Amino acid sequence: MSMSAYLSQLVQVAVALMLAPLLVGWVNQCRAWLQNKRAPSLFLPYRTIRKLFVKDAVVAQNASPIFRLTPYIVFGAMTCAAAIVPSLATDLPFARAADAIALVGLFALARVFMSLAAMDIGTAFGSLGARRDMFVGFLAEPALLMVLFTASLISSSTSLPQIVDTLAHHEIGIYPSLAFAGVAFTMVSLAENARIPVDNPATHLELTMIHEAMLLEYSARHLALLEWAAALKLFNYSCIGLALFFPFGIVVSGADWLAVMSSAPLLVAKLAIGGVALALIETLSAKMRIFRAPEFLGTAFMLAVLAMLVNLLLGA
Amino acid sequence: MESLPLYAQLINLLASVLLLLAFAMLAQRRVVTLIDLFAAQGLALACSTAIVAYATAQPHLYFSTAITLVLKVAILPWLLHRLVQRLDVKWDVEGLINVPTTMIVGLVLVIFSFNLAVPISQLANTVTRATLGIAMATVMLSFLMMITRRKAIPQVIGFLSMENGLFFAATSATYGMPMVVELGIALDVLVGMLILGVFFFQIREQFDSLDLKHMEKLKEGEAE
């Protein structure tokens, strides 16, 4: 393991931490434009996070240590995930520690602690949000695993850098299995990131909240960390999607860290296009009733399994 | 990963689309959309038959393509649309089991038919042998649709889409059936559809509904 690998690892995590709020700002801006509204500043998420960090934290009297620890655990899990997902380079020393399945586990760890913290205070909206989040999560997780298994079948490895290496080098052709998996992954990411068909990130109505309902009791630096973690989660999911389905431009093993720097503009461009697509999906679709979510995620699961089966049968 | 020739890739893609459409039909609740999906399935079938015909230089498959296009993309959907309009049953929403469960059962059927097709497709020597599993899965899924739907029109669409699956199986295993058989089947399907159209009116006349559970009673007035 060379010095440049560690450097590219560091650069990647730094880029993820810095770019994640920008991605959220970009999606919000695109959405506002599409809905004929005046868009907020692209850098609003940064300002929000900075403002929250200088405020004084208020914690409920009956809060247990879980409530205080959760922001750090969630933020840590998302940063770890950012270190594992090959967004700029595949020569990542840290990625050896965890494969695709462990990555899903990392997301699940964050979700469990979020839900525990939301129920910790004992408010109605917190536990309501926590239960809904677990409900969506237990439907979305198998579908996500199936998508990752399809990619693993193609590259016969569950290690993410290996998958991306194989996918980046395979010949250009029509792969129906990857198309199915791509659609399934999009549906899962919408659900996991609390986006519109399942949850509304901009809602102010507590009764319809899922993700936001769990943050109601948090303030100041805790809230800042959780907002940042949510942005990182969106960034990570986008990067997984880009790495699996549009892997060109990611620096494969053996390159020095200057090449890693040069792959960053391409990543930004891909993320910008992805952000427009996300804003478009969110504008074009209406929020579903919560009990329609099983149907939505069941379809995602079915598509992901079909992708795997088609890949086994046709080898494509 | 070894790469296939372009036409084989296209056939694989169309086969996958066929399978996806079969699932979409299974999950679809509106009759009008169901008919459109059936027409789309016919179109995918015609495209894949045309590609097989081109790739293997079998002129008689072009005739099958033409028959499929005329019958399953134009005439049958048009007949069905007219029937739905005349019977006024656009919002036929009932299924016996809910959609996610149906889809899980469908997935099990797909796995079953893929396994069933593996030994058969090893015996075949056509370029399209890999897609036999998908053809069988389409037949099974149409079967499932006929079982899980309560109303008459979705059942008939299930029957017609089963015929699509059989046709696709024939193309993928043996480059299609002899012309006489194909023409016979096409005529059968068309006439069958016309007769079933008349049946729908009779059923509704008798029972005031297209729900087939009324037909389980043997005699008129027995239950009253």
A184 within 8 A of A143, measured Cβ to Cβ = yes
Tokens standing for B172? 């993928």
**Minimal-distance CA residue of chain A relative to B105:** A302
Residue in B10, B106, B110 nearest the CB of A174: B10
DSSP A250: P
Query: Closest to B12 (Cβ–Cβ): which among A302, A306, A314?
Result: A314
Tell me if ipTM is over 0.85. Answer: no
Residues of chain B with a CB closer than 8 angstroms to some CB in chain A: 1-4, 9-10, 12-13, 15-17, 19-20, 23, 27, 99-100, 103-104, 106-107, 110-111, 114, 117, 130-131, 133-134
What are φ and ψ of residue B173, in 5° steps?
A: -90, -40
Q: Which residues of A touch B20 (CB under 8 A)?
A: 180, 303, 306
CA A199 to chain B, closest CA, distance in angstroms equals 20
Q: A314–B19: do the CB atoms touch at under 8 Å?
A: no
Is the CB of A302 less than 8 angstroms away from the CB of B16?
no
Q: Is the pTM of this model over 0.80?
A: yes
What pLDDT does B207 receive? Answer: 75
* pLDDT, mean of residues B141-157: 86
Read off the pLDDT of residues A221-251 as tens digits, 9 standing for 90 and up.
Answer: 899 999 999 999 999 999 889 888 887 767 6
A174–B contact, CB cutoff 8 A: yes
The values of phi and psi at residue A204, to 5°, are -120, 10
Q: Please answer whether residues A248 and A203 qualify as being in contact, where contact means their C-beta atoms are separated by less than 8 angstroms.
A: no
d(CA B200, CA B157): 13
In b/e form, how buried is each residue of A115-143, taking b as 16+ CB within 10 angstroms? bbbbbbbebebbbbbbebbebbbebbbbb
d(CA B192, CA B214): 22
| Chain A (34-53) residues lying within 8 Å, Cβ to Cβ, of chain B | none
pLDDT > 90 fraction of chain B, expressed in percent and rounded: 14
pLDDT tens-digit map of A96-135: 778 888 889 999 999 999 999 988 888 888 888 899 889 9
Q: What is the pLDDT of residues A246-286, one digit of tens each?
A: 877 676 655 566 677 777 788 888 888 989 998 898 888 88
Looking at residue B224, its pLDDT comes to: 45
